[in-house]
Amino acid sequence: MAAVAVEAVAAAALRARLRSHGRVSVRLAANGWDMLAGRVEGAAVEGRLWESPLGLTARILDVEVGRVELDLGAALQQQRIVLRNTPLGAARVVFSGPDFGAFLQHPLVRAAAARAVQGLPFSFDREVLVLPPSAGTGTGAAGGTGNSSGGATGAVLFSGVLRATQQRYQLTMRPAQGGRAVTVSAVPVGAAAAAAGAGALAGAAAGAAALAGSFGGSGRSGGAATAAAPLAPPAAGLSTASAGSVSNSNSFSTVSSLASSSADGGSDPVVSAELTRFFSRLTVDLQGAELAFDGLAVGQAAALAARDNASAAGRSGAGGGGGGGGGPKLVARDAAEGWIDLRLKATVRDFPPLNLQF
């Protein structure tokens, strides 16, 4: 009974923190003696159709962690939650296209993207199209045909701008390595713009090199050259802030190489590789609760919704789940819609504050 009461209180607290929700459920694996000792063998949070205060939305959000040990003394004396261990677990987030677009615009993701491409900022657009796998193919196989139906793995189509060069890219992300990683293809939009950017940045890099050479006899490091760089006209789209996001000694050469790599009108190998690394290693820290990329799949929205609705009905019929079951069912927009199924590793180093903005 103690666990049931805690489940209800925790679910109510979560509902109060969300801007909107379809379903919120909390489950604890603990008996009365465990609770008195400040110990829980496992905890799970289940959410459907969530919207956070900062506009983060998801069709499905499930988090499950193992053993949790609380410092009861701190809870009673200091009125705060202190962990005596580091709970480990997993999370699952299912995004629609608009959900993923909101995710890319979230302040935590934008902060991470400020150094996404060789230390330079990349700005993602909000518009996202998710293409489900072609009929008769699986969701986790590597490869993909690249056709408009999403290929064997499905695909996520979106876009963005490398702010240092002001070059826009059309991005295609696909699951890779059986869903354990992703690959991103970045194709410059407008070959003329890419070529112009390459020429302007190459000239800026040459000017910077000449300026640095004028300090050669003084034995100064690259920092002196960078400090004097504002005397020369800045490259188009290269601001002081973006240049400062990489080391002073190689910022101009980095931007120049990025511009020239995209001047052939094909897929940009540097930006593609950097964004592949960015998404495959993405980690978000919610002030103590760390979520790290563990895998990604793309599936048909209707199939994912039907499977989840059936599972929820089974749990409700068995009396499972605490703090709130039921709620609206998941519904796909149409038969052609795809959803992104993102898996994350969860590490709880500290209990997030109750006023956490996410």
Token readout for 5 is 């009461």
Residue 215 neighbours by CB distance under 10 Å: 15
> H-type helices in 137-290, by residue range?
191-213, 222-228, 240-243, 251-261, 269-280
* Contact residues for 319 (Cβ-Cβ < 8 A; gap 6+): none
Quickly state the pLDDT bin for 351 (edges 50, 70, 90). Answer: confident
pLDDT 10s digits, 159-206:
999 999 999 999 999 999 999 999 999 999 985 455 544 554 454 445
Quickly state the pLDDT bin for 81 (edges 50, 70, 90). Answer: confident
Question: Average pLDDT of 275-298?
Answer: 94
Residue 179: DSSP 8-state: G
Q: Residue 31's pLDDT is what? A: 84
Question: Average pLDDT of 98-125?
Answer: 97
Report the DSSP beta bridge partners of residue 26.
45, 322
Question: Average pLDDT of 54-78?
Answer: 88
Looking at per-residue pLDDT, the higher value among 134 and 214 belongs to 134
Average pLDDT, the chain: 78
Question: Average pLDDT of 13-25?
Answer: 88
Which run of H or E residues covers position 60? strand 57-65
Looking at per-residue pLDDT, the higher value among 234 and 102 belongs to 102
Q: Residue 137's pLDDT is what? A: 47
CA distance 82 to 59: 31
pLDDT 10s digits, 293-329:
999 999 999 999 999 999 888 776 555 556 555 678 9
Question: Average pLDDT of 80-94?
Answer: 91
> H-type helices in the chain, by residue range?
2-17, 32-36, 72-77, 97-104, 107-113, 191-213, 222-228, 240-243, 251-261, 269-280, 301-317
Q: Is 65's pLDDT higher than 90? A: yes
Confirm if 25 and 321 have CB atoms less than 8 A apart: yes
pLDDT 10s digits, 204-227:
445 444 434 433 444 433 333 333
Q: Is 350's pLDDT higher than 90? A: no
pTM for the complete prediction?
Answer: 0.75
Pairing of strands 42-51, 39-40: unpaired
Residue 22: DSSP 8-state: S
Of 319, 312, 285, nearest to 48 by C-alpha is 312
Quickly state the pLDDT bin for 6 (edges 50, 70, 90). Answer: confident
CA distance 133 to 184: 16
Q: Is 39's pLDDT higher than 70? A: yes
Quickly state the pLDDT bin for 78 (edges 50, 70, 90). Answer: confident
